[in-house]
Amino acid sequence: MARFDRPLLLHRRALLRGALTLAGGLAAGNAAFAQSAAFERWVERFRAEAVRRGVSEATYDRVMGHVKPDTAVYELQRKQPEFTEEMWQYINRRCSDWRVITGKERAKEYAGVLARVEREFGVDRYVLLGLWGMESSYGDVIDNPKYMRPIIPALAALAYGEPRRRRYWEAELINALKIIDRGWAQPSGMIGSWAGAMGHTQWMPEVWLNMGVDFDRDGRINPFGKPDDALAGTARYLVERGRWRRGEAWGCEVTVPAGGHRLADNRTMRSYATWHGHGVRRADGEAFHRPNDNVKLWIPVSGGPAFLVGQNFRAVYSYNPSASYSLALVHLGDLVRGDGDFRQKFPGGERIPTIDEVKEIQRRLNERGFKTDGIDGRTGSDTVRAIGAFQKSVGMKPDGYAGLKLLERLRQP
């Protein structure tokens, strides 16, 4: 090709790239328009189902008439945790120094409410404090846009575009609309997780609608604002759906005699007295407080602490069916009560770092260019990501855990 033809060729290529870009933009725009039109058709079709199941036409039209689906929830649903945790790490993070200290403050601040809930429902106030701390850091994150989003657009997107559990998402969207219908909330005030859990104790709309309690007697049930309704409704959930037993403990840590580990099938229920006959003892050396209550022997990690757990541990498990979650929750409640840490440590485990140690971790990470979004002694998502990035950079296992081994490494030059 002659030299003087090159500018013309470049010009043509630029025109072609521009045309392709324009075509791609038009295609994307057309796809977005088609998706929008399809969603609007779904909204119109779903109207009859919502009205049939108890939502007023006026509420449906007002709320759903202009809703835009929050399609970001699809990725959030598919996204797997970036870091995996050992059980001891999971428990240490949820039973952090900050949560224990703050839990003790909340126990004093809301002593009257907690005593009334305990009296009326029979649920141990410290289990409720553990649950409150686990679910929302005692209400600290319930409206934080970093973690929460408007739930009506989220549930609408899931009901419209998530085929695997469509009936579930449709039902929760209708439950949310019923809450609005009853005048308990406005759409703008219904802020929660990508899946629709809201408030101090992270209720799904169905729980709000059917388990909620107007405990402060203001004429509506509200899991936001004052924690009264949230704590009472959650206690009701544990009693009615978890079959909580008044007066029973969740269980306790125990020591097991040589050879007794074979009895830890996490299934066979025996009384504390019977377990005592098999040589099982409370780890703190005290006598079993209610020897006739039935419990089972559970050793979650070989070589780690052993527990006798009863029906009230199962009640907690019903709130979130995860063994790690349930054990962390009841342990947090016990720590807030003033009990000590587990006597037997998990294999490879560390003690829970203090607030000052976590702050030092955050400070040293920031000094090295790994930003934690503050130095507050709390291991939020930004701190976890910063830790993981630092660990990768120095060849450590990238588990994102703010522990003592990490602090020791950060202290090295």
336 with 107: CB under 8 angstroms? yes
pLDDT tens digits, one per residue of 101-118: 999 999 999 999 999 999
Instruction: Express as a percent the part of the chain with pLDDT over 70.
Output: 91
For the chain, which residues make up each domain, given as ranges? 355-410
Give the integer Cα–Cα distance in Å for 150 and 206. Answer: 16
**In angstroms, how far is CA 24 from the centroid of its own chain?**
40
All residues at 6 or more sequence positions from 205 whose CB lies less than 8 Å from its CB, including other chains: 151, 155, 172, 173, 175, 176, 178, 179, 196, 198
**Structure tokens that stand for 392 in this block:** 């990768």
pLDDT digit string (tens) for the chain, length 413 residues: 333 333 333 343 443 444 344 344 434 444 454 568 999 999 999 999 999 999 999 999 999 999 999 999 999 888 766 677 899 999 999 999 999 999 999 999 999 999 999 999 999 999 999 999 999 999 999 989 888 999 999 999 999 999 889 999 999 999 999 999 999 999 999 999 999 999 999 999 999 999 999 999 999 999 999 999 999 999 999 999 999 999 999 999 999 999 989 999 989 999 999 999 999 999 999 999 999 999 999 999 999 999 999 999 999 999 999 999 999 999 999 999 999 999 999 999 999 999 999 999 999 999 999 999 899 999 999 999 999 999 999 999 999 999 999 999 999 98
Helix, coil or strand: residue 139: coil
192 with 151: CB under 8 angstroms? yes
234 with 124: CB under 8 angstroms? no
pLDDT tens digits, one per residue of 264-300: 998 999 999 999 999 999 999 999 999 999 999 999 9
